[in-house]
Amino acid sequence: MTFSIVARQGEAFGVAVASKFLAVGAVVPDARLGVGAVATQSYARVAYRDELLDRLAAGETADAALAAATALDEGRETRQVGVVGPASAATVTGSECNAWAGGVARDDGDTAYAIQGNILTGPDVVEAMERAWRDSAGAPFARRLLAALAAGDGAGGDSRGRQSAALYAVEPGSGYDTCGVLADLRVDDHADPVTELGRLLAEWEMFFGRPEDVEPLTGELAGEVRDRLARLGFEGRDLAVALADWAGHANYEARLSPDGIDARVLEALREATA
């Protein structure tokens, strides 16, 4: 009833998942800074999330952690689980999972993934997800997770239809107040949850992303920014202070830079004063 990708890129770990199931993000995904990520699905055992992450934290490989945890579970043949650690990846599909069910896992060194699904339209869902992950090499981590999920959805996804999707990822220094949460998004009940998840990710990146393509506030650009801020009521003060005041008002403070103005903040300012 679910398809997911669990992955690592550098120091980032995360999960993207979709299902014909209410609030799949409340059940399937988990990730822990410096440790790994887990997806538990198909008669999911939520306790696997902490059990497997604790085993990874203790130094076990993904394969070993998964084998040890499932050996203690009498319902293991109904489960499907994907696990990625600092130097390993594994997936398992129990013999009693509803068809089509299966998965693939690979560790390429700097990146790794475990892709799995059950009650899918066919194996091409997993194949499309793996291809999208590999083809998106070089893109931001959360974007690669979303690309893989969207590819699986486009290939047929859950054979029963669509309802919910989620993306949870962690990376040192990312997120609000550099808390390490790179993305934490859920679409609990929607006709097109993967597309909606993509919209939310774009918003998340705007509000919580790091500054990018920063331009110095000098010359004509400084004049333009000063004029646009004045039109919004932020004037009569130092330009950097006025920009910070407006950015805080718009919740863009995470994108402020002492070196100038972030490209996406500049775009938002221009849109606000168009």
pLDDT tens digits, one per residue of 97-107: 999 999 999 99
The pLDDT of residue 205 is above 80: yes
Last residue of a domain, one of 183, 208, 233: 208
Task: Please check whether residues 196 and 235 belong to one and the same domain.
Answer: no
Task: Please check whether residues 84 and 130 belong to one and the same domain.
Answer: yes
Give yes or no for a contact between 120 and 97, defined as CB atoms under 8 angstroms apart: no
Helical packing angle, 219-231 and 239-249, nearest 10°: 50
* Nearest CA-CA partner of 83 in 98, 93, 73: 93
Long-range contacts of residues 153-156, Cβ cutoff 8 Å, at least 24 apart? 153/18, 153/194, 154/128, 155/121, 155/124, 155/125, 155/127, 155/128, 155/129, 156/120, 156/121, 156/122, 156/124, 156/125
* pLDDT, mean over the chain: 96
Task: Please check whether residues 43 and 165 belong to one and the same domain.
Answer: yes
In a domain, 60, yes or no: yes
Residue 177 binned pLDDT confidence (cut-offs 50, 70, 90):
confident
- We report the CATH number of the domain holding residue 34 as 3.60.20.10
Task: Please check whether residues 110 and 158 belong to one and the same domain.
Answer: yes
Task: Please check whether residues 226 and 173 belong to one and the same domain.
Answer: no
Residue 236 binned pLDDT confidence (cut-offs 50, 70, 90):
confident
Pick from 43-57, 66-80, 122-136, 229-243: least confident: 229-243
Summarised one tens digit per residue, pLDDT across range 45-99 is 999 999 999 999 999 999 999 999 999 999 999 999 999 999 999 999 999 999 9
Overall average pLDDT of the 158-180 stretch? 95
Task: Please check whether residues 15 and 128 belong to one and the same domain.
Answer: yes
Helix (H) or strand (E) holding 259: none
Provide the token pair at 259: 């070196």
Last residue of a domain, one of 208, 234, 253: 208
In a domain, 166, yes or no: yes
Task: Please check whether residues 155 and 244 belong to one and the same domain.
Answer: no
Overall average pLDDT of the 215-229 stretch? 97
Task: Please check whether residues 140 and 183 belong to one and the same domain.
Answer: yes
Task: Please check whether residues 174 and 249 belong to one and the same domain.
Answer: no
Predicted model pTM: 0.93
pLDDT at 237: 72
pLDDT at 235: 83
pLDDT at 21: 97
In a domain, 116, yes or no: yes
Residue-range definition of the domain harbouring residue 107: 2-208
Task: Please check whether residues 148 and 262 belong to one and the same domain.
Answer: no
Q: CA dist 126 to 20, 101, 103, 161, Å?
A: 16, 9, 7, 16
Share of the chain above pLDDT 90, in %: 96
* Number of separate domains in the chain: 2
In a domain, 213, yes or no: no
Overall average pLDDT of the 167-192 stretch? 96
Task: Please check whether residues 139 and 234 belong to one and the same domain.
Answer: no
Overall average pLDDT of the 250-270 stretch? 96
In a domain, 233, yes or no: yes
* Nearest CA-CA partner of 94 in 112, 73, 124: 73
Task: Please check whether residues 169 and 262 belong to one and the same domain.
Answer: no
